[in-house]
Chains A and B, each alone.
Chain A
Amino acid sequence: MRHLSIQELHQDYNNGVTTPSQVVEGYLGSIRKSHHNAYISVLEKRVREQAIRADLELKKTGKVPSDRLPLFGVPMAYKDLLTVKGERTTAASKMLENYIPPYTATCIARLEEAGALGLGKVNLDEFAMGGSNENSAFGPVDHPTHAGFTPGGSSGGSATAVGADLCHASLGSDTGGSIRLPAHFCGIVGFKPSYGRISRHGVIAFASSLDQVGPMTKSVYDAALLTEVMAGEDIKDSAMIAGQSPKFTQDLFKQGIDLRGVRVGVPKEYWGDGLDPDMSRVLRERLKQIKEAGATLVEVSLPHTKYSVSVYYLVAVSEASSNLSRMDGMRFGVRPAQADMASSLEEQYQISRSLFGSEVKRRILLGTFALSSGYYDAYYKRACQVRRLIAQDFDSVFTKCDVLVGAISATPAFKRTEKEQDPLKLYLNDILTIPANLAGLPALSLPVGTIRSEKLPIGLHVIAPRERDESLLQFAQSLETLFQNASQLGRK
């Protein structure tokens, strides 16, 4: 009894096939039995209460009040970087293992006001720093369908929870690819909206100018619906896109699979020699289908892509070094007993801050260095200048095409600890996802099939101009339908 979309779930509610409580109990049972380590905290009591209230609502009218509550009875998982009032929020760090926020993130509040049910808080790389979910103080997360493989990161728990049917949909956050990479590895839809589309209030900050919350779902429609509910100005976040947010679901089915007139950009940097050959072959087949459906393929180039990793690892670590300062064992962060015995304030800070994991420490040190007097101009300031060039690359290609398609990363999911332990090589894994964050663009990973005999899922990267989230979703949905119709999607 698993539903591919919110519409299917609502149909079952309407037909009396199931109730919110039954669905929630089903998921709670699966979570208990699962060995994926997807969840850090299961909000059993809270979600049961929410489900009972939904049961009563449904009993009263006999019908899902989908106009008022578009997410009625949809059980969700939240990346444990997002705050829920009164519920432990850890960011997968020892530092925050006891942190109970006094407020709820705007994105979660809006989902739940629209009827969503919060099953729990899911695992991630500590403070969202990592790409394989191995940097969690709560242990690594397993791939939903391929035991021993990484689900990707940093929203690894969010991806596995959806892929392994431990929730209907989840929230992730994407600073340099943290939604799209795990979606690609796990064969689900992962959408990073434009920067400023969804409030960051209640998102424990990693890199403030890059962080963006987004949905991880089984369908583009669900991603659009969740985004529609969460998007729009919030008085508590002043760096948002101004004005009314579009109704993302409205135009979704208009276009069908007719792609005539759509100019699809194919950036050569996203289709290079470094791609896994099996993956590359499937992606090229999809490209051919897109063309056959009437789209015009346009070869384009984003020449500054090669600098994106350097730029990202200066901007992101600089902001992170500042954002994580508050975790000092004084106001926030665990203060170990021996810190109270310290002979000076400095030493007290040292003892408390040793609780950060090694990747987090590495990034704080790098960021502190990059912002230091005497180095600021050469590193942080220069990085911001090149960041503008990367954004200009996109501005110029979007005069020639409407959307871009390419790979999310060079490989499909890999076995845990199989990858290089050299962080520099791991960082290079992000080269195709980072540019969209640096330029603030909406980008999505669409599952397009599996490769090799082991049937590893892969995703297609779709990127649209800034603030054109609705065009991106519409295009992605056309592709979803197109590929489904061609019955080449191995996930049904």
Chain B
Amino acid sequence: MDVHSDYQPVMGLEIHTQLATNSKIFCSCPARPSGSMTVAEVGANEYCCEVCAGHPGTLPVLNEQVVELAIRAGLALNCKINLDSVFSRKNYFYPDLPKGYQISQFDKPICSDGYVDITTSTGTKRIRVERIHVEEDAGKNLHFGEFSLVNLNRAGVPLIEIVSRPDIRSPEEASAYMKAVYDLVTAVKVCDGNLQEGNFRCDANVSVMKKGSDTYGTRAEIKNVNSFRFVEQAVTYEIERQIGVIESGGKVVLETRQYDSAKGVTVSLRSKEEAHDYRFFPEPDLLPLHLTEAQIERIKASLPELPHARKIRYESELGLSSYDASVLMENAQWVELFEGALKLAGQNGKSYAKTFTNFITGEISRIEKELGVSIAATALKTHHLVEVAEMLDQKLISASVAKQLVPEVCASGSSFKALAESKGLIQVNDQAALDKAIEQVLKQCPEQVLEFRAGKEKLLGFLVGQAMKAMQGKANPAMLQELLKSRLKQQ
């Protein structure tokens, strides 16, 4: 008997999201490199001043953009935005924490009581969000064998921590929830969403209990998981480990663990008995944060359409299939291109929507993979997409010609039409010209014509191919096939 079916995993995630602000949370140092520079390229302690280095006598001053972004996140996650929230000090000693305490929010967070709907293979489910609070990131210790150094570039970078209720019941749900939150916070531009840079990472609290029990088991916390795949793997391993411990007569202990993605296992970091008493108390250097309804309304009005609402619109208004809408929405740049093309196409937008989608998820996806860059980095722009949809609609080119031209459009930015014309690839829709080619084929291939008429209908493809060849591949294929078929039936 499978012991797993006796156990119910229970999980909650704490997601740390770096806010996409220009400056740090309590000083004017840059929060992240600008342009194409990566975090690793910034010199150690270059983004650092007396405030984020925690010099004696310095004071925090709250960055207003942080408040705005935290509210945006709260609204996107259907939270209640608390008009009064309080910053607190979380006290602990560690070399990467210059002040000896982290400024965070404790008993009065900025957002609470939200939810996120997720879709998995078993359907749709609501995961409740307990709270979202604002805090500062710590620096980074760098170890060099004999000694260690601290880089404070990250110290004071603003974060929000999104804490779910223990509503997650399977590894698939854990991954789907992390992805759903990711989609939301990137859609409302709260976070850059760069997973490699650690912009978005989570701690997973995992426990198991006997099915039918109403008491949660002892949990372990898996720290700093930074991908949707890893979270699924990590909690899968952890669930099995905990079941194994219980089945072999042991007890799960309250502890902090780390996921080793190379080995696919979680390993113990420290037991919670060694845990700190953080001695939270209200931060006396910052006044309580008071928000107004008007401020929240203004931010609400500035929010873009959220993924859930967008998907409904794509399906019901634009007639995309649920699958097509999902594939399109996986990529924010695709959505941007799609929305731009819809707008540019004006009245025709709605009728081109399916074509846009097919072209993006087919041709554009393919060229992105071939070139190894995103479409935004190429010369193919919104107006090209509209143009190609028009040409396909008017049957000026075939889908295969369009596909053939994509690499050149991406490279040069010239129009599909100009390229198709210069290469003589504009489709021939003229019946007289097609008829002429058909007559020519009938003459050239009398045997095949006879066999077809005798019932070997498979030969239609061959004959169409011959006619297309006679037209140098420029014939409208559907029209050509239709005409040939009726001509053959005439005897």
> Which residues of A does B touch, CB under 8 Å?
82-83, 89, 91, 96, 99, 101-103, 105, 200-205, 207-209, 235-239, 318-319, 321-322, 324-328, 330-332, 345, 349, 368, 371-373, 376, 380
> Given the complex, which residues of A lie within 8 Å of B91, measured CB to CB?
321-322, 325, 371
> Given the complex, which residues of B lie within 8 Å of A373, measured CB to CB?
277, 279
Which of A209, A239, A326, A372 sits near B56, CB closer than 8 Å?
Answer: A326
Across the interface, do B50 and A331 meet the contact criterion of CB distance under 8 Å?
no
CA distance A326 to B150 in the complex (A): 14
> Given the complex, which residues of B lie within 8 Å of A319, measured CB to CB?
281, 284
Which of A83, A203, A322 is most buried by chain B, counting CB atoms within 10 A of its CB? A322
B 88-99 to A, binary, CB cutoff 8 A, 1 in contact else 0: 010101010011
Contact of A99 with B281 at beta-carbon distance under 8 Å, contacts A322-B91, A322-B100 already known:
no
Which of A83, A237, A325 sits near B100, CB closer than 8 Å?
Answer: A325
Chain B contributes a number of interface residues (CB within 8 A of A) equal to: 29
> Given the complex, which residues of A lie within 8 Å of B93, measured CB to CB?
325, 328, 349
- B7 contacts A by Cβ under 8 Å: no
Across the interface, do A101 and B284 meet the contact criterion of CB distance under 8 Å?
no
Which of B59-67, B310-318, B462-470 interfaces with chain A?
A: B59-67
> Given the complex, which residues of B lie within 8 Å of A372, measured CB to CB?
277, 279
Q: For residue A340, which residue of chain B has the nearest CB?
A: B147
Across the interface, do B55 and A102 meet the contact criterion of CB distance under 8 Å?
yes
Which of A89, A322, A330 sits near B101, CB closer than 8 Å?
Answer: A322
Which of B59, B98, B277, B286 sits near A326, CB closer than 8 Å?
Answer: B98
Across the interface, do B101 and A325 meet the contact criterion of CB distance under 8 Å?
yes
* Nearest 5 A/B pairs, CB to CB: A325-B100, A208-B284, A371-B279, A209-B284, A204-B56
Selected A-B contacts with CB under 8 Å, 7 pairs = A96-B56, A101-B50, A103-B50, A318-B281, A325-B93, A371-B91, A376-B280
Across the interface, do A200 and B99 meet the contact criterion of CB distance under 8 Å?
no
Across the interface, do A236 and B59 meet the contact criterion of CB distance under 8 Å?
yes
- B123 contacts A by Cβ under 8 Å: no
Across the interface, do A328 and B56 meet the contact criterion of CB distance under 8 Å?
no
User: A330-B95, A349-B93 given. 13 additional CB < 8 A pairs?
Assistant: A201-B58, A202-B57, A207-B284, A208-B285, A236-B51, A236-B59, A236-B61, A239-B287, A319-B281, A326-B56, A332-B56, A376-B280, A376-B281
Q: For residue A325, which residue of chain B has the nearest CB?
A: B100
Contact of A332 with B59 at beta-carbon distance under 8 Å, contacts A209-B284, A326-B100 already known:
no
> Given the complex, which residues of B lie within 8 Å of A202, measured CB to CB?
57-58
- B53 contacts A by Cβ under 8 Å: yes
Across the interface, do B98 and A237 meet the contact criterion of CB distance under 8 Å?
no
Across the interface, do A101 and B98 meet the contact criterion of CB distance under 8 Å?
no
> Given the complex, which residues of A lie within 8 Å of B57, measured CB to CB?
82-83, 89, 101, 105, 200-205
> Given the complex, which residues of B lie within 8 Å of A96, measured CB to CB?
56
CA distance A345 to B99 in the complex (A): 17
CA distance A349 to B93 in the complex (A): 9
Across the interface, do A326 and B54 meet the contact criterion of CB distance under 8 Å?
yes
> Given the complex, which residues of A lie within 8 Å of B98, measured CB to CB?
326, 331
Contact of A371 with B56 at beta-carbon distance under 8 Å, contacts A238-B287, A239-B287 already known:
no
CA distance A209 to B287 in the complex (A): 10
Q: For residue B285, which residue of chain A has the nearest CB?
A: A208
CA distance A202 to B59 in the complex (A): 8
Across the interface, do A91 and B56 meet the contact criterion of CB distance under 8 Å?
yes
CA distance A204 to B50 in the complex (A): 13
> Given the complex, which residues of A lie within 8 Å of B284, measured CB to CB?
207-209, 239, 319
B 130-143 to A, binary, CB cutoff 8 A, 1 in contact else 0: 00000000000000
> Given the complex, which residues of A lie within 8 Å of B281, measured CB to CB?
318-319, 322, 371, 376, 380
> Given the complex, which residues of A lie within 8 Å of B286, measured CB to CB?
238-239
CA distance A208 to B56 in the complex (A): 12
B 207-229 to A, binary, CB cutoff 8 A, 1 in contact else 0: 00000000000000000000000
> Given the complex, which residues of B lie within 8 Å of A204, measured CB to CB?
56-57
For the residues of A in contact with B, the DSSP-based class is loop
How far does the Cβ of A378 sit from chain B's closest Cβ, in whole Å?
Answer: 14
CA distance A96 to B56 in the complex (A): 10
How far does the Cβ of B326 sit from chain A's closest Cβ, in whole Å?
Answer: 45
> Given the complex, which residues of B lie within 8 Å of A236, measured CB to CB?
51, 58-59, 61
> Given the complex, which residues of B lie within 8 Å of A82, measured CB to CB?
57
CA distance A105 to B150 in the complex (A): 26
Across the interface, do B61 and A235 meet the contact criterion of CB distance under 8 Å?
yes
> Given the complex, which residues of A lie within 8 Å of B53, measured CB to CB?
331
CA distance A83 to B280 in the complex (A): 28
Q: For residue A211, which residue of chain B has the nearest CB?
A: B284
> Given the complex, which residues of A lie within 8 Å of B58, measured CB to CB?
103, 201-202, 236
B 18-55 to A, binary, CB cutoff 8 A, 1 in contact else 0: 00000000000000000000000000000000110111
> Given the complex, which residues of B lie within 8 Å of A203, measured CB to CB?
57
CA distance A82 to B58 in the complex (A): 11
Which of A83, A238, A322, A324 sits near B89, CB closer than 8 Å?
Answer: A322
> Given the complex, which residues of B lie within 8 Å of A331, measured CB to CB?
53-54, 95, 98, 150
CA distance A202 to B50 in the complex (A): 10
Q: For residue A207, which residue of chain B has the nearest CB?
A: B284
How far does the Cβ of A312 sit from chain B's closest Cβ, in whole Å?
Answer: 14
CA distance A89 to B56 in the complex (A): 10
CA distance A89 to B62 in the complex (A): 27
> Given the complex, which residues of B lie within 8 Å of A209, measured CB to CB?
284
Across the interface, do B279 and A368 meet the contact criterion of CB distance under 8 Å?
yes
CA distance A205 to B284 in the complex (A): 11
CA distance A83 to B100 in the complex (A): 20
Q: For residue B27, which residue of chain A has the nearest CB?
A: A236
Which of B55, B56, B89 is most buried by chain A, counting CB atoms within 10 A of its CB? B56
Q: For residue A315, which residue of chain B has the nearest CB?
A: B284
CA distance A209 to B98 in the complex (A): 21
Q: For residue B139, which residue of chain A has the nearest CB?
A: A331
In the complex, chain B residues 143-181 whose Cβ is within 8 Å of any chain A Cβ: 150
Q: For residue A238, which residue of chain B has the nearest CB?
A: B61
Which of A101, A201, A322, A349 sits near B59, CB closer than 8 Å?
Answer: A201
How far does the Cβ of B103 sit from chain A's closest Cβ, in whole Å?
Answer: 11
Across the interface, do B279 and A238 meet the contact criterion of CB distance under 8 Å?
no
How far does the Cβ of A375 sit from chain B's closest Cβ, in whole Å?
Answer: 10
Contact of A322 with B56 at beta-carbon distance under 8 Å, contacts A209-B284, A371-B91 already known:
no
Contact of A238 with B60 at beta-carbon distance under 8 Å, contacts A319-B284, A328-B93 already known:
yes
> Given the complex, which residues of A lie within 8 Å of B150, measured CB to CB?
330-331
> Given the complex, which residues of A lie within 8 Å of B287, measured CB to CB?
238-239
Q: For residue A83, which residue of chain B has the nearest CB?
A: B57
> Given the complex, which residues of B lie within 8 Å of A327, measured CB to CB?
56
B 75-105 to A, binary, CB cutoff 8 A, 1 in contact else 0: 0000000000000010101010011110000
Which of B56, B62, B277 sits near A205, CB closer than 8 Å?
Answer: B56
How far does the Cβ of A197 sit from chain B's closest Cβ, in whole Å?
Answer: 15
Q: For residue B95, which residue of chain A has the nearest CB?
A: A330
How far does the Cβ of A15 sit from chain B's closest Cβ, in whole Å?
Answer: 40
How far does the Cβ of B477 sit from chain A's closest Cβ, in whole Å?
Answer: 70
Contact of A239 with B99 at beta-carbon distance under 8 Å, contacts A331-B54, A349-B93, A373-B279 already known:
no
Across the interface, do B56 and A101 meet the contact criterion of CB distance under 8 Å?
yes
Across the interface, do A328 and B59 meet the contact criterion of CB distance under 8 Å?
no
CA distance A89 to B57 in the complex (A): 11
Which of B54, B55, B62, B93 is most buried by chain A, counting CB atoms within 10 A of its CB? B55
CA distance A91 to B51 in the complex (A): 19
> Given the complex, which residues of A lie within 8 Å of B280, measured CB to CB?
371, 376
Which of B57, B58, B59 is most buried by chain A, counting CB atoms within 10 A of its CB? B57
CA distance A326 to B56 in the complex (A): 8
CA distance A322 to B286 in the complex (A): 15
> Given the complex, which residues of B lie within 8 Å of A235, measured CB to CB?
61
How far does the Cβ of A174 sit from chain B's closest Cβ, in whole Å?
Answer: 16
CA distance A201 to B58 in the complex (A): 5
How far does the Cβ of B85 sit from chain A's closest Cβ, in whole Å?
Answer: 15
> Given the complex, which residues of A lie within 8 Å of B95, measured CB to CB?
330-331, 345
> Given the complex, which residues of B lie within 8 Å of A239, measured CB to CB?
59, 284-287
CA distance A328 to B99 in the complex (A): 9
> Given the complex, which residues of A lie within 8 Å of B279, measured CB to CB?
321-322, 368, 371-373, 376
